[in-house]
């Protein structure tokens, strides 16, 4: 009887051990962010510096009144992601009091120059590392339109010009996950922006370099 009990115990132990070896180890499965197409939303704060003829002829001061929001579609089995971004940028410069000729009239005034943009862009990112890496460097290209609002003030008098103009950009950045397989992280980006806009002082378009930091949330 004892021999039969020992045999049964050994059989059960072997069966349990075999089942344990065959059972799927769920913790070894790839992250859902690697297995599925997923989405990513980013709120971004930016600092911008004017470049080229825009800085030489109109505004040459850095601006920190800029922000954007983007939605990104991260493709499955691909290093690419595509998305859209909307935002706002604002540049301003004040010129000391001087005299200006307005037709037959001479004006003595403090001149204030401003330029606001409200870009709407589509973009594509190419990521160099995996979707679940805690550091995810990427390059970006973007294109779209920008609603441009040009204002030139002479004291309390002003002239305004508004136009929808083509916009493009090239950027380099990296996402940083707070934890591997997590949903939250930080996105740091440096980007060149150009807008094909010409009016009065702005003769060769609007160009700038901006650095930004954003917080993102991803889901599938």
CATH at 120: 2.40.160.20
Count the neighbouring beta carbons within 10 Å of the beta carbon of residue 48.
Answer: 21
1 occurs within a structural domain: no
Q: Which of 30-34, 44-48, 101-105 has the lowest mean pLDDT?
A: 101-105
Q: How far is 37 from 178, CA to CA, in rounded Å?
A: 20
73 occurs within a structural domain: yes
8 occurs within a structural domain: no
Band of pLDDT at residue 102, cut at 50, 70 and 90: confident
- Kindly report, residue by residue over 160-172, the tens digit of the pLDDT: 999 999 999 999 9
- pTM (two decimals): 0.83
Q: What is the pLDDT of residue 24?
A: 55
- Percent of the chain past pLDDT 70, that is, above it, reads 87
> How many domains are there within the chain?
1
Q: How far is 81 from 33, CA to CA, in rounded Å?
A: 13
Q: Give residue 91's domain range.
A: 29-219
33 occurs within a structural domain: yes
- Kindly report, residue by residue over 180-203, the tens digit of the pLDDT: 889 999 999 999 999 999 999 999
Q: How far is 129 from 38, CA to CA, in rounded Å?
A: 16
68 occurs within a structural domain: yes
Q: What is the pLDDT of residue 131?
A: 87
9 occurs within a structural domain: no
Q: What is the pLDDT of residue 10?
A: 47
Res. 136: pLDDT tops 90: yes
192 occurs within a structural domain: yes
């Amino acid at each position: 009887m004892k021999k039969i009990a020992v045999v049964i115990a050994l059989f059960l132990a072997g069966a349990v051990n075999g089942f344990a070896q065959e059972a799927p180890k769920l913790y070894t499965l790839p992250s859902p962010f690697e297995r599925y197409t997923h989405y990513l939303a980013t709120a971004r704060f930016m600092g911008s510096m004017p470049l080229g003829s825009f800085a030489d002829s109109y505004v040459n001061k850095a601006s920190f009144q800029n922000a954007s929001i983007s939605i990104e579609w991260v493709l499955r089995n691909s290093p690419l992601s595509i998305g859209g971004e909307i935002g706002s940028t604002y540049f301003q410069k004040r010129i000391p009091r001087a005299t200006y000729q307005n037709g037959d009239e001479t004006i003595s005034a403090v001149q204030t120059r401003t330029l606001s943009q409200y870009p709407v862009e589509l973009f594509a990112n190419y990521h160099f590392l995996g979707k679940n890496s805690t550091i995810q460097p990427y390059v970006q290209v973007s294109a779209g339109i920008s609603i441009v609002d040009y204002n030139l003030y002479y004291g309390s008098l002003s002239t305004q010009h508004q136009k929808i103009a083509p916009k493009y950009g090239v950027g380099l950045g990296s996402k940083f996950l707070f934890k591997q397989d997590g949903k939250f992280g930080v996105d740091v980006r440096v980007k060149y922006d150009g807008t094909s806009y010409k009016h009065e002082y702005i003769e060769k378009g609007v160009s700038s370099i901006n650095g930004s930091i954003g917080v993102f949330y991803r889901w599938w």
